[in-house]
Amino acid sequence: MLDPNFAGPKSSMTWQIEAELLNGPWLLLGQALPLNIKIKKLHAGDCQIYLHDFQTQLVETTQLHACGFGEISKHSWIIQTMANMEQKICTDNNPFGTEIILPSVIWSSHTLPSALTSSFEICNIKRDYQLEVRLGFRMGLSKLKIAIREFQFPVYVTAVEASKATLQ
């Protein structure tokens, strides 16, 4: 949730932000993120909210165990970074309970890198991924205060198209 006093002492706004993966934890190489971001106004009051920053990255973790020793390596893959967007999400006229879904056009033109290796676990080697989504919001007139909200999803990366039955 965004802090109700974030926009200034006269603001009594609270916003709930939800992010979900539409295909569960499955991500396909070379495809856009199946992401849905919903923002809900929880209090009455007048305040505008803007999406200022948007970033998605995939954190790869590889674990190797051999001869009683273990090694862990991590690598980050930036999928997309956008700053200074100033995309208006809500205006003063939105009533209590308003739900807004961010347009997927924000992230749909960026795909998972094809150079990634699919998630796997075999013998003593395991590779898994975590998707991180960072949203920066600006409320009201202040251009100096940006509230950052982060979402983290453990995901499975696959190189083949999964059937609809598998995704459900």
- How far, rounded to the nearest angstrom, does the alpha carbon of residue 143 sit from its chain's CA centroid? 23
Reported as a single tens digit per residue, the pLDDT across 100-149 is 899 999 999 999 988 888 999 999 999 999 999 999 998 877 777 889 99
pLDDT confidence tier of residue 12, bands split at 50, 70 and 90: very low
Kindly state the DSSP code that residue 167 receives in the 8-state scheme. Answer: H
Give the mean pLDDT of 14-26: 92
CATH of domain 15-161: 2.60.40
Domain boundaries, the chain: 15-161
Helix, strand, coil shares, percent, the chain, to 5 = 5, 55, 45
Q: Which residues pair with 27 in a beta bridge?
A: 157
User: Considering the entire predicted model, what is its pTM?
Assistant: 0.82
Amino acid 16 reads Q
Reported as a single tens digit per residue, the pLDDT across 78-89 is 999 999 998 888
Q: What is the DSSP string of 95-163?
A: PTT-EEEPPGGGTTT-B--TTSPPPEEETTEEEEEEEEEEEEEEETT-SS--EEEEEEEEEEEESSPPP
Question: CB burial class (10 A; 0-12, 13-18, 19+) of residue 138?
Answer: buried
Q: Which two tokens stand for residue 144?
A: 């100096």
Reported as a single tens digit per residue, the pLDDT across 36-91 is 999 988 877 667 888 999 999 999 999 999 988 999 999 999 999 999 998 888 76
- How far, rounded to the nearest angstrom, does the alpha carbon of residue 2 sit from its chain's CA centroid? 16
Structure-model confidence comparison of residues 160 and 9, the more confident one: 160
pLDDT of 13 strictly over 70: no
CA-CA distances (angstroms) from residue 94 to 69, 97, 114, 147? 57, 8, 41, 20
Amino acid 101 reads I
